[in-house]
């Protein structure tokens, strides 16, 4: 039997409202997989040093060491050392700060995302990978998932897990699909910020999403892909994005 734990690893308070960082911990016997990693221990303790005042002011991060993935896993009575793999939707600071708290874990991410990260793009913080984790990069769409191009992850687990390319927010941004106990879970990452965007194409948060997108044309295409997927198959799966607090409370 496989268990899934939902973790909120980010707290954001901004003029636009509150937001979270919705991560997953997959527990298959004694093998754990973390999906996105939130803000890390060091960043929570010394945010100005590790994230910088400008980023903190722009985003509205609120720091609480209890929210870190490491401490939440301990709080569940589980051994963090069993987290052998971490899957990243993309490499933005609020998604990967916690990677350094699991230096033994292999990090899985799209090839396009890592290439952009190492190119010096200003949105990324290179020090978040300074611990030099083992990386597995995925660049080929080798399977299809509900009609969408997908990349099967090499994890040596019974659970099926795929990267679903949804580029635009970043050049290698992916959703993540996993089949747990015969039920699909679809994590859309930052393909949308609020679930309301799926129904309202003119939602005010679109202005923020546009501003944060590396390629907004690609982002809008990916968002429409998510809309069409969920219109057809949403009843067959659990789905959520990274930032919407209402989805975490469901």
Closest CA to 86 of 60, 109, 63: 109
- Residue 126: Cβ within 10 Å count: 11
pLDDT, residue 250, reads 62
Instruction: Output the six-digit token pair for 31.
Output: 């093998």
Instruction: Output the six-digit token pair for 165.
Output: 């390319």
Owning domain of residue 220: 2-248
- Give Cα separations from 199 to 77, 119, 127, 173 (angstroms): 39, 35, 38, 22
pLDDT, residue 156, reads 86
pLDDT, residue 230, reads 98
Task: Please say whether the beta carbons of 64 and 7 come within 8 A.
Answer: no
| Residue 157, domain CATH | 3.60.15.10
pLDDT tens, position by position, for the chain (250 residues)?
A: 789 999 999 999 988 889 999 999 999 988 999 999 999 999 999 999 999 999 999 999 999 999 999 999 999 999 999 999 999 999 999 999 999 999 999 999 999 999 999 999 999 999 999 999 999 999 999 999 999 999 999 998 989 999 999 999 999 999 999 999 999 999 999 999 999 999 999 999 999 999 999 999 999 999 999 999 999 999 999 999 999 999 997 6
What is the rounded CA–CA span in Å between residue 134 and residue 124? 19
What is the rounded CA–CA span in Å between residue 60 and residue 19? 9
Instruction: Output the six-digit token pair for 241.
Output: 């994005």
What is the DSSP secondary structure assignment for residue 132, as one 8-state letter? -
What is the rounded CA–CA span in Å between residue 233 and residue 224? 14
What is the rounded CA–CA span in Å between residue 124 and residue 183? 34
**CA dihedral over 114, 115, 119, 121, signed as positive or negative:** negative
pLDDT, residue 162, reads 98
pLDDT, residue 249, reads 79
Which residues are registered as beta bridge partners of 17?
14
**CA dihedral over 151, 238, 147, 205, signed as positive or negative:** negative
> Taking the complete model, does pTM exceed 0.95, yes or no?
yes
What is the rounded CA–CA span in Å between residue 157 and residue 120? 34
- Which residue has 């590790």 as its token pair? 50
What is the rounded CA–CA span in Å between residue 46 and residue 43? 5
Instruction: Output the six-digit token pair for 23.
Output: 């991560």
Number of domains in the chain: 1
């Amino acid at each position: 039997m496989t268990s899934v734990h939902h973790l909120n690893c980010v707290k954001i308070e901004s003029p636009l409202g509150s937001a979270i960082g919705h991560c997953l911990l997959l527990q298959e016997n004694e093998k754990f997989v973390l999906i996105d990693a939130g803000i890390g221990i060091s960043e929570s303790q010394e945010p100005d040093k590790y994230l910088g005042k400008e980023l903190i002011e722009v985003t509205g991060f609120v720091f609480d060491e209890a929210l870190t993935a490491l401490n939440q896993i301990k709080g569940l009575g589980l051994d963090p050392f069993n987290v052998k793999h971490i899957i990243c939707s993309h490499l933005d600071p609020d998604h990967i700060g916690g990677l350094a708290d699991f230096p033994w874990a292999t990090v899985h991410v799209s090839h396009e995302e890592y290439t952009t990260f190492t190119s010096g793009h200003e949105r990324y913080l290179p020090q978040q990978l300074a611990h030099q984790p083992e990386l597995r990069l995925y660049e080929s769409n080798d399977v299809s998932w509900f009609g969408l191009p997908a990349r099967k992850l090499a994890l040596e687990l019974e659970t099926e897990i795929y990267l679903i390319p949804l580029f635009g927010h970043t050049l290698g941004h992916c959703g993540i699909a996993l089949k747990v106990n015969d039920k699909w879970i679809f994590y859309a990452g930052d393909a949308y910020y609020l679930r309301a965007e799926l129904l309202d194409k003119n939602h005010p948060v679109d202005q923020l999403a546009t501003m944060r997108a590396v390629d907004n044309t690609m982002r809008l295409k990916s968002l429409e892909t998510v809309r069409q997927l969920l219109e057809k198959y949403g009843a067959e799966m659990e789905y959520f994005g990274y930032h919407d607090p209402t989805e975490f409370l469901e």
